[in-house]
Structure 1
Amino acid sequence: MSTKSFRVAICGGGIGGLCLAVALSKHTHIQVDLYEGAERFKEVGAGVMIWSRTWRILELLGLAPHFAKVADTQPDPAVAPGFEYRRSDRQEGFEWKLVAMPYGCIRFHRAHFLDAFAERLPTGIAHFRKRLASYEKQDSGEIALTFVDGTSAMCDLLVGCDGIKSVVRAQMLRVKAKEEAQPGLLDLIEPKWTGTIAYRGLIPSTNLPRIDGARHRTLASPMMYCGQNKHLVAYSISQGNIVNFVAFASDLNKKNTAYGAEWVTDCSKDEVLECFGGWEREREEKPTKWGIHHLEELPFFVTDRVVLLGDAAHGMSPHLGAGAGQAIEDAYILAHVLGAAAADRFDAALEAYQQTRLPVANHVLRSSYESGNMYEFNSPFGDEYSALGPAIQHQWDFLTESTPEGEAEKAMGILRSLERERINQNRARL
């Protein structure tokens, strides 16, 4: 391994960007700079969930003890509920499916989850109020970054972690469309509305009614309340003191239509109650209204030492609770191959990252949207519970079809193969 540093610029200080910065900072031959447009690290939203696969990555990165301190309950490898599915678009609902798995659903307050990464970040790496405006490849191979405030910086590798509205993705696709005469790539720049809106909010657990003398079911297990064209997710965070709820309402005829300039707006509690009229009564307090968007599957995550990660690469609907986990897995694999790459030769590492992560992340993106339709009885299974239940269970197979260690070794195998190919090509030219 070369001791000469190469410079990695990470644009975006969300979960994926912070995880990558922490992981890369362990490698002394890599200079890491994290540029965040806001004045501090912050997350929009209230709850975040991860599954056993992501927990294993946190263990491999040496971060699990820090996250255990802020989890809703202590992560436990025993089989536990992922979600309990309940038919609720009627006054008297009933449970019809339980998805259980090792560790169950590991839940956090989103701000606490982000802080656990931020607190592990070495000093001097984070730069705030630095929102990327554009980048430009130099003749030297370096990349010049220009920020909205007029300042600039240089790097050898740019990682776009700047979310579903990514500036990096937009420029990458425009350049590629022009260079390769593929105007269809331009259609992949903007996120697409799924036709679903979501009402999000937090409920203090003390405000929840007891059910038949027992504590509210959402404090015992993550719940998925299902109905035709609508569903509601609720689970506890902050050591059981708060319940995070997200109520979804879909119109499949509006998929890919224009949603409007503001994706997140305030709304009244009455709007939610009217939308879910006739349902089992649950409590909603001070909700916000979100337009749920996702990306179409990208054909690549890497071009010319510019790479996409997390929502910038595969922003997905939230129906598998997999967005944070997929961003963390991106960061784990990318840091793994870059850590093994020589300072002047990391193109192969980027290709190894792409070949490893692109098919998996795009599969989860696709499955997440499909899962939302299943919860609202809009899939080919309708509300045939005997078939729908196993189909929903199957959506979680990506958690166990491989391991994080196996995926890292796969990426390293690709890296070694590409390096051998390069060496053989150089020999052939001699």
Structure 2
Amino acid sequence: MAPSSRVVVIGGGVGGLTAAAALHRAGRQVTVLERAGSLDPVGSGISLAPNALRALDVIGLGDELRELAAWQGNGGLRTPAGRWVSRVDAADAAERLGGPIVLLHRATLVHSLAAQLPAGTIRTASAASLVDPGDTARPARVATADGGLEADLVVAADGIHSAVRRALFPEHPGPVYTGFTTWRVVLDLPGVEFAPHETWGPGRFWGTQPLKDGRVYAYAAAVSPAGRRAPDDERAELVRRFGDWHDPIPALLAAVGPEQVLRHDVHHLAEPLPAFHSGRVVLIGDAAHGMPPQLGQGGNQAIEDAIVLAHHGDDLAAYTAARLPRTTAVARKAIRAAGVGLTRSRSGIAVRNAAIAALSRVAPGLLLRGFGDIADWRPPQQPYASGKAPVRNPQEAPREGRLHRTR
């Protein structure tokens, strides 16, 4: 097929908007259909690793987001009592990974992507369903409450519980529960100093990271039956599970309101799909390869998907061939990482921590080797990055013991 001009993107999250921006840049006529009433995402942070930043360079957004984000500072892994299991030197990690890992509010990324699109491209409060995937002889058809749309290409970015995926691959078992639930919160925490960290306890972990605007992004996970919720509120549940852990966790929990805490059970696609396309429809992001969040690669892989899709145009078989093996490998690493980080065995925890501590002292590069294979990815296109120097570099990242603020 010749490159299509009419594209419908179902889903206005990170993957859908990156695809829309990349396809628009390629000369396509794009419509984004978002079910929610606005593009404002839930209050959470998102980390962008070098692989995703290189992908965003292709559409000219890499430098902008490097400036808007907090660059990963020196921190590491701790025990609930506060002992450091391992330390990470931000400059060394950036050198080994080929660039920094940065953190920003998800809303910042979404709004930057949306700004790449012409007015009227995005339709919010517009639930959509796939009526016909189309083929080489006819367009795909999508239904909305306002009527139907025909498209030469439909990009399904409708998440882990994707209705489009079910329509294309009805025999696939779909997402399964990972066995753990997560909490996220973004808040102000003035006057509290800390080093960025993750803390691993038996069957649960906590992370505290600074955002560039001075707020704090905290996230937690715990092994839990699916669907279980706190009998009172989720802040109280966090206090029960993490309130006696090291500083600054108690101070953060004291400052957060119950309405600020988001809780979601985590599902993933344990069985890879046979393909990421059918007819004129292509799946990206969690709809194609939902994975546990332990490597922070869910959104990053969606960004990669979008850029590779724009590169291959309507050769959807080439897109599947490029993306399915890579995302399957990344998802498997994320599953293994979740198992290591959330183990409840005391002996297993002791062995894990001792091994990580030893590697951190003797061969810190080995701790990054597995992630380096992920972060080293390069997009197939030449970047359109501005070339403008970032605000700061990894050597200027905040040192441990202080919350970096740039307001």
TM-score in terms of structure 2 length: 0.79
- Structure 2 spans left out of the alignment, 5+ residues: 360-365, 384-407
Match of 2:23 in 1: 24
Aligned match of 2:402: none
Which secondary structure state, in structure 2, belongs to the residue aligned with residue 108 of structure 1?
strand
Which SS does the other structure have where 2:308 is aligned? Answer: helix
Query: Of residues 316, 319, 322 in structure 2, which corresponds to 1:350?
Result: 316
CA contact (8 A) 2:294 2:334 kept: yes
* In structure 2, distance between residues paired with 1:336 and 1:264: 46
1:226 is matched with 200
Q: State whether residues 14 and 42 of structure 1, in contact with CA within 8 Å, keep that contact through their aligned partners in structure 2.
A: no
| Residue in 2 that maps onto 1:197 | 181
Q: Deviations over 1:282-334 (max 9, x none)?
A: 12223232212212222211112211001111112211111111010000100
Structure-2 change in CA distance of 1:263 and 1:159 (3 Å): farther
Partner of 1:418: none
1:34 equivalent in structure 2: 32
Equivalents in 1 of 2:143, 2:232: separation in Å?
34
Question: How far did residue 277 of structure 1 move?
Answer: 5.3
Query: SS at the partner of 1:363?
Result: helix
- CA deviations 1:217-274 (Å, max 9, x no partner) are 2xxxx311111211111111143x11111111115xx5xxxx23x9999934222121
Q: Provide the secondary structure at the position in 1 that maps to 2:274.
A: coil
SS in 1 for 2:21: helix
Which residue matches 2:50?
Answer: 52
Aligned counterpart for 1:364 among listed residues 306, 326, 330: 330
Does the aligned pair in 2 maintain the 1:224–1:234 contact within 8 Å?
A: yes
Change (3 A) 1:406 1:152: closer
Give structure 1 stretches of 5+ with no counterpart: 74-79, 178-184, 209-214, 339-345, 409-430
Give 1:288's aligned residue: 262
Matched letter for residue 26 of structure 1:
R
State how 1:230-309 maps to structure 2 within 5 Å.
230-239=204-213, 241-251=214-224, 259-260=226-227, 267-276=233-242, 278-281=244-247, 282=249, 283-284=252-253, 285-286=256-257, 287-296=261-270, 297-309=272-284
Q: Which residue is equivalent to 1:412?
A: none
Give SS of 1:25's match. helix
**Could you say which structure has the larger radius of gyration?**
1
Contact 2:160 2:290 in 1 (8 A): yes
Q: Alpha carbons of 1:19 and 1:266: their partners in 2 closer, same or farther (altered >3 Å)?
A: farther
Deviation at 1:104, TM superposition (A): 3.3
Residue in structure 2 matched with residue 6 of structure 1 by the alignment: 5
- AA matched with 2:148: S
- What's the CA shift for 1:207? 5.5
- How far residue 106 of structure 1 moved from its aligned partner, in angstroms, is 0.2
Please name the residue that 1:152 is paired with: 148
> Larger RCO: Structure 1 or Structure 2 (Cα < 8 Å, ≥ 6 residues apart)?
2
Q: Is the CA contact 1:374–1:388 (under 8 Å) kept in the aligned structure 2?
A: no
How far, CA to CA, are the matches of 1:280 and 1:11 in structure 2? 43
Partner of 1:101, secondary structure, is helix
Kept in 1, the 8 Å contact 2:199–2:206? The answer is yes
